[in-house]
Amino acid sequence: IWPGRMGHVLAWLGTIPFILALLVSLTAYRLQVWPFLVVIVSTYAAMIVTFIAGSHWGLSSKIPHKNAKKVMIYSNAITLFAWLGILFPSWIISWLIVLSCYWFAYLLDKTIQRHGGCDVSYVKMRLHVTSMVTAILFILIFLGRFEL
């Protein structure tokens, strides 16, 4: 089961690059750094959602075999879609694809929790962190569309 408080702290610390990207996008330097910021946010977001998908493999070992196989397949799909998302030429569409991967991963967390693979506090934390990342990325999309 989820390793408790340390996991929650690390998950919240994982939002720091998103917060920093938002703060940088609000400065006078945003025009100069915007292309770099897009690459950083795209790759970091895809890397983190892939990490989450990988954690599903470990969590799936705690649920019934039939459901575990589905979780493993879906977690691979999340990783592949995140990878395809960052390859997309439009950064806005790229971020929307990666964001959909975050929400699909959250739904997979809920499925794992329903089958006893993780506790409710983990799923609740994932909802809050995913919501925060989503809000930041939507703000960045809104701000960034003026940089085109």
pTM, two decimals, is 0.91
Per-residue pLDDT, 1:
43
Which SS3 state, helix, strand or coil, does residue 47 take? Answer: helix
What would the pLDDT profile of 104-146 be if each residue is shown by its tens digit?
999 999 999 999 999 899 999 999 999 999 999 999 999 887 6
Positions in the chain whose pLDDT score sits under 70: 1-4, 146-148
Contacting residues for 49 by C-beta, under 8 A, at least 6 apart = 78, 79, 82, 98, 101, 102, 105
Long-range own/partner contacts, residues 82-87 (CB < 8 A, 24 or more apart): 82/45, 82/46, 82/49, 82/50, 82/53, 83/46, 83/50, 85/42, 85/46, 86/42, 86/43, 86/46
